[in-house]
Every structure is written in C-alpha cells, then in structure tokens.
Amino acid sequence: MDSAVRNFGGVFLLSFEEREGWRLSRQYLTRHFCLCYLEVGREFDILNFGLLYRPCIQLFQPMMKHLLFFPVCFLFLLVFVQAETGTKNPSPKVNKSVYIYLSPSSQDKNIGFGEYLSEEYRMNQLAQHLKKHLLEAGVKVLPELPPVTKAQLDDPNYNRIPLRTRLEDSMKLAKKLEKTEPDALFYHIALHTNAFNKLVRGAEVFIDPANPAAVALAEHLLAVSVALYHKDNPEEAAKHANNDKALRWCRGVKDTGKLIEAQGRNTKNGMLFEFCFHDEEQDSKWMLRCIAEGEKEGGTNPLAKALVDALVEFVNKEPR
C-alpha cells in the first residue's frame, strides 16, 4: 500500500491505495483524537491511536509495514497538544502571598509619536498583559481591572476613576491586608510613559526613598526593563556601557518629589514607572512592539513577562 501524509491546517489526512481487498478509508489525526476506519466489506472497526486486537490477525498483515506512520503522526499530535496548552515558557510562581495594585495612567491627553495614540490607552493595554502574567505566577491583582477598549476611552461619557480615589482604595486594601494577612507583600505600581521634547529617551522610576524595600524592587524591575530595551536596541547598550550619563537610556530610580502616587503617605510600597518617552520615535516604537506581541492571540508582551518574572524572583527571596 502506498501512503501519503498531508497537512491541512493542523489536521492530518492519511490516504491509502486499495490493495489485497482491504481499504483504509478517511483517517484523521486531530489535536485531540485519532480515529481510523477500516473497511472490510460491510464491517467497520474503529481504531484509536493504533490497531485494536482482532482474532483474525491476518487482517493486519497487509498493513504491518505501514504502522510506522502511527507513531510518527502521534509525535506530531503531541506537538500540537503542547502548543494548545501553552506550556512554552511558563511563568515562575511566587512562594508567598503577594498583592499588586496596578494603576495604569489615565492621562488621555498625552499623545505619543505616530501610532502610539494616548498614554492612557497604551498603559491600560500593558496593565492587562501584566495582569495575565501576574495571575499565572500566583500573584493577586488589584483592582479587578477589566479590559478597556479605545472606543470606551474616547467616549466623552467614559467614567474614569479619579487618581485620589484609586490612592484611597489602594491604601485601604493595604491596611486591611496588614490585619488579615500580616505576612503578605503588597506593592502599588503605577504605569506611565513620559514626554518632553521629542528627543529625550529612557526609563525611570519614581519612589519614596524612605521605603528601602520598595526602592530595591524598583531598581530590580528597572534593570530588567533596561536590559530588554538594550537587547532590542544594541546601539543604546553601547552608550550605556560607555557610562555617558547624557546618553544612557536608564535614567535611574528617583525621589518621587511631587508625584503623589509614589509618596509613602499615599500608597504602601508605591512606585511610579515611566517606561519610555512616548513622544520620541524610537522609544514609542519599542513600546508599541512589546504591546503588539501581547495583543496577538496567545502572544506574550516581552516587557510584561520580563517584569513579572523579575518581580517573582525578587519576592521569592524576601523573608516571610
């Protein structure tokens, strides 16, 4: 029997020529099952992942030299199942109770370069990508943060939660956890991108210097962001290596000053990230590439994944 294997969009069709009175009609391997129909006159048998035993062993003799196709196709099946279940690069898990309050920008008037659109829109997208990986890692995410579309944000009647309300909500939750889960870790992370004169580039984090634990986490996450940017932009990595402060993309961890979202009196372990300058072409395109990867079906935002992995690494080393 001559055989052929053809791939039709993830479904394998095995076709066999008729010989010696036996004919294998339509055989399909899918990602989840394999049913082979063996036609012998008017009698049909169903074969699952191979040939079932029959008293008439001679029924299988004409097929013995072709059984190699079954294990080969089974290997293809395993590859599809692995892709379906998303086992590639699983997120590491936290070994303690961790809560993250995500606070994406609500600055709808801050418009970036080219297709960046508004800071609010892009940081809400980033928040969804971070949320996905945080939940995978066993981190509790606050608040609920339902996805927000561009149309919703453009609606003049869209009900934005005022910053002061978010700060009160964050602090209320942090104080509640101090009583109910005193060993839990809590961080407030504000998501922003910067703007200045369309020339300045780089990432920075604002934080209350009186909070050493939050400063350490902020430095760790910033270093991961910078490393990812340098990987995508080798010329920036060279400038960083030259230690030219005027050219370095990493702008450092800074005193929060008047930025109330990172002040210790307003948030517990609060930090405000400025991931890049959205009015500068190279920075904005880098952020858009990261977000575009996360928006694909089954895709991963490399920035969100790297930040969550780094956070898990950091908190797992923290004493309980």
Task: Give the pLDDT confidence of 293-310 residue by residue, as tens digits.
Answer: 999 999 999 999 999 999
pLDDT of residue 178: 96
Same domain, 126 and 216: yes
Instruction: Name the percent of the chain lying above pLDDT 90.
Output: 61
Confidence of residue 33 (pLDDT cuts 50, 70, 90): very low
Provide mean pLDDT across the span 33-60: 41
Task: Tell me the average pLDDT of the chain.
Answer: 79
Same domain, 163 and 226: yes
Most confident listed range (178-187, 226-235, 256-265): 178-187
Q: Which residues are within 8 A (CB) of 31 and not within 5 positions of it... i.e. 6 or more apart?
A: 10, 77, 80, 81, 84
Cα–Cα–Cα angle for 311, 317, 320, rounded to 5 degrees: 105
Same domain, 234 and 152: yes
Same domain, 29 and 143: no
Question: In the listed set 85, 109, 135, which residue is the last one of a domain according to the structure?
Answer: 85
pLDDT of residue 94: 96
Q: Give yes or no for residue 43 having a pLDDT over 80.
A: no
Which is higher by pLDDT, 86 or 132?
132
Residues 252 and 222: their CA atoms lie apart, in Å, by 8
Confidence of residue 137 (pLDDT cuts 50, 70, 90): very high
pLDDT of residue 242: 63
Contact 288, 116 (CB under 8 A): yes
Question: In the listed set 61, 85, 109, which residue is the last one of a domain according to the structure?
Answer: 85
Q: Give yes or no for residue 278 having a pLDDT over 60.
A: yes
pLDDT of residue 78: 52
Domain, as residue range, for 33: 3-85
pLDDT of residue 76: 53
Residues 209 and 201: their CA atoms lie apart, in Å, by 24
In order of 2, 40, 72, the CA distances from 18 in angstroms are 9, 11, 22
Confidence of residue 318 (pLDDT cuts 50, 70, 90): confident
Q: What is the dihedral of CA 133, 136, 137, 141, to 10 degrees?
A: 70
Q: Give yes or no for residue 47 having a pLDDT over 50.
A: no
Same domain, 229 and 302: yes
Asked if residue 7 is part of any domain, the answer here is: yes
Tokens of 91: 């997120």
Q: Give yes or no for residue 58 having a pLDDT over 90.
A: no
Residues 63 and 20: their CA atoms lie apart, in Å, by 10
Most confident listed range (55-69, 119-133, 251-265): 119-133
Same domain, 301 and 154: yes
Q: Give yes or no for residue 23 having a pLDDT over 50.
A: no
pLDDT of residue 8: 36
Same domain, 129 and 192: yes
pLDDT of residue 213: 83
Question: In the listed set 85, 118, 148, which residue is the last one of a domain according to the structure?
Answer: 85
Residues 203 and 6: their CA atoms lie apart, in Å, by 50
Is the four-CA dihedral 250, 284, 311, 205 of positive or negative sign?
positive
Instruction: Give the DSSP letter string of the chain.
Output: --EEEEEETTEEEEEE--BTTBEEEEEEE-SS-EEEEEEETTEEEEEESSPPP-S-GGGTGGGGGGTTHHHHHHHHHHHHHHHHHT-SSPPP--SS-EEEEEEE---TT-B-SGGG-BHHHHHHHHHHHHHHHHHHTT-EEES------HHHHH-TT--PPPHHHHHHHHHHHHHHHHHH-TT-EEEEEEEEEE-SSSS---EEEEE-TT-HHHHHHHHHHHHHHHHHHHHH-HHHHHHHHTT-TTT-SEEEEEE-TT-GGG-TTTSTTEEEEEEEETTSHHHHHHHHHHHHHHHSTT---HHHHHHHHHHHHHHHHS--
Q: Give yes or no for residue 32 having a pLDDT over 90.
A: no
Domain CATH for 153: 3.40.630.40
Domain count, the chain: 2
Provide mean pLDDT across the span 111-133: 97
pLDDT of residue 280: 96
Q: Give yes or no for residue 28 having a pLDDT over 60.
A: no
pLDDT of residue 91: 73
Same domain, 35 and 141: no
